[in-house]
Structure 1
Amino acid sequence: ISDPPISSSCPHSRAHANPHSTAHLAALTEETHRLISLSLADGSRVAYQRAVDAFQNFRLSHSLKSSWPATSQDVMTFVAHLSLSGRAASTISVHVAAISCLHKMHNWDDPTQHFLVKKMQEGCRRQGKSRDIRRPITWDILAKITSNLDSACASLYECILFRSAFLLAFFGLLRVGELTVTARYGNTSKVIAIGDIQIAHNNPGALMLRIRYSKNDQYGSAVMLRINGNGIENMCPVQAMGKYLVRRPAAKGPLFCHANGAPLTRYQFGAVLRKVLHHAGVPPLQYGTHSFRIGAATTAALNGLSPSKIQTMGRWRSDAFKLYIRK
């Protein structure tokens, strides 16, 4: 918000401004920002920021101009990308609404109001329920990922970091939001912390993991998971976590962090996954960060585990877990 114009009848009014008046204007400006901020619920604000980040990352990865305001052509290309990725029409609408909100907040021309953007959104709604094209990360694909991390990571520490994160996501049937923070504006308080994991005292071949918050547990009642090791090189979650914890910097906060102490983000988790899948000859477009949870549920079903056992392992409260089993 710009400063109010100085009265032409008093050229020195700014220099001799009443300090009480200046303080009042500052208070009005602060209240304006506060009210605008309150216009969006916390959940909507996080969702909008995540959508804008996704749009910006898409433009950067496709060598498009990343300056603002965005063009309608960029928005159309992004909508096409979301549709090919299997996103539901409602999800695409949230992404478009976030881009629109950003432009309106800055008083820029809104590219989402373009006739063709509107028509593309209508097409998304008319095509009905989008199919979930995310494929499961199976045991064989997990083996390819963990043995090819040097192709996607810049250092030995990063290889150890992502190997332990990927294996824990698979064997713990974890949601990516439980492991990583959202880009830039993530809330680290609800992510698995360094104090939430320990090697089981009665069995060094297992680890105990506390999940304090999750999608189905917003109030922090917490659950304890026991994850057993398998002794297989590059595929054992307990061995991988042991190697990681030895090298992890002495920093409080999220369990997974880089050598400089910065927490692992959802974007980094997905970017390394796509890069290593591409190097291993697996089409990365068919996989996402949720593919570990899908793959673990599918693998459990193929190994004969009962539906109730799978539901308990993944902490599902409804029959939604059946959608994760991709036989």
Structure 2
Amino acid sequence: MSYSVGVLHIRSNGTWNFSVNTLLKTAEKFNSRSPHHRLLICSKRLSRICYKLNGSFFGLYWDSLLRASLCCAFYGFLRLGEFTVNKFNASRNLTFSDMHINRNSATFLLKTIQNRSISKLFGHLSSNSSPMFIMPTGCALTRTEFVKRLREVISSFGINSSLYSGHSLRIGAASTVAKAGLPIYLIKILGR
């Protein structure tokens, strides 16, 4: 004997389908969230942030680094861990050798779990395995430093920056293309 409640399917022996556990975990996450959710950074706000980073906010190097990483993150629908690091590892993090530039565009290989074996296989062929985004110290751009500086720029507009995170760029990119009419299945492909 079993009972169905909406999408829940509970058997009389007390076992639940996997989807029920997933549903409950998701509901728990929503209940544990603060009343403030992450806000998105849309293309208009990104432009405003990049305009502010004109070389005089943090200095030429940091402003250029942040503009480049912000634009790559937004237009690449990147997760924070895809372009920043806790500890740099060339087989997992973006490197200069992952970027390919031609006359009209720049592309880079994202080292997701599926691509890691490919990047390890061809990694020895690359000539430059230094980080894609390098702080003035010579170390790879860390997530802590990126988020801290992003929030400083946002705060300069008189906005509560604690409502923003690195994920705000990914949310903003998806929202921007959805608003432009891109079909959901294509947005999912862009977001991997």
Given residue 158 of structure 2, which amino acid in structure 1 is its aligned partner? G
**Displacement after TM superposition at 1:222 (Å):** 5.7
Residue of structure 1 equivalent to 2:77 = 173
1:142 aligns with one of 46, 51, 54? 46
Greater C-alpha radius of gyration: 1
CA RMSD of superposed structures (Å)? 2.5
**Displacement after TM superposition at 1:253 (Å):** 1.9
Residue of structure 1 equivalent to 2:190 = 313
**Equivalent-residue separation in structure 1 for 2:109 and 2:142 (angstroms):** 20
Within the alignment, does 1:271 sit opposite 2:170 as a pair?
no
**Displacement after TM superposition at 1:152 (Å):** 4.1
**Equivalent-residue separation in structure 2 for 1:206 and 1:288 (angstroms):** 27
**Equivalent-residue separation in structure 2 for 1:206 and 1:289 (angstroms):** 24
**Displacement after TM superposition at 1:148 (Å):** 1.1
Contact 1:210–1:222 (8 Å) recurs in 2: no
1:188 aligns with one of 89, 93, 97? 89
- The runs of 5 or more residues in structure 2 that have no matched partner are 1-24, 120-127
**Equivalent-residue separation in structure 1 for 2:188 and 2:117 (angstroms):** 18
In the alignment of these two chains, the number of paired residues is 155
Residue of structure 1 equivalent to 2:99 = 197
SS of the aligned residue for 2:116 comes to coil
Within the alignment, does 1:298 sit opposite 2:175 as a pair?
yes
**Equivalent-residue separation in structure 1 for 2:160 and 2:180 (angstroms):** 25
Structure with the bigger RCO (C-alpha within 8 Å, sep 6+) is 2
SS of the aligned residue for 1:220 comes to helix
Contact 1:144–1:280 (8 Å) recurs in 2: no
2:68 aligns with one of 149, 164, 173? 164
**Equivalent-residue separation in structure 2 for 1:171 and 1:222 (angstroms):** 23
- TM-score, normalisation: structure 2: 0.72
**Displacement after TM superposition at 1:280 (Å):** 2.1
Write the deviation string for residues 174-227 of structure 1: whole angstroms up to 9, x where unpaired.
Answer: 011011111xxx142311111000213xxx2211111123xxx2661569xxxx
**Equivalent-residue separation in structure 2 for 1:144 and 1:219 (angstroms):** 34
**Displacement after TM superposition at 1:132 (Å):** 6.6
**Displacement after TM superposition at 1:252 (Å):** 4.1
**Displacement after TM superposition at 1:129 (Å):** 3.9
2:135 aligns with one of 229, 247, 258? 258
SS of the aligned residue for 1:188 comes to coil
User: Residues 46-125 of structure 1 correspond to what in structure 2 (within 5 A)?
Assistant: none
**Equivalent-residue separation in structure 1 for 2:118 and 2:161 (angstroms):** 33
User: Residues 217-236 of structure 1 correspond to what in structure 2 (within 5 A)?
Assistant: 217=113, 220-221=116-117
Change (3 A) 1:171 1:298: same
Identity of aligned residues (%): 32
Change (3 A) 1:218 1:152: farther
Contact 1:152–1:275 (8 Å) recurs in 2: no
Given residue 105 of structure 2, which amino acid in structure 1 is its aligned partner? A
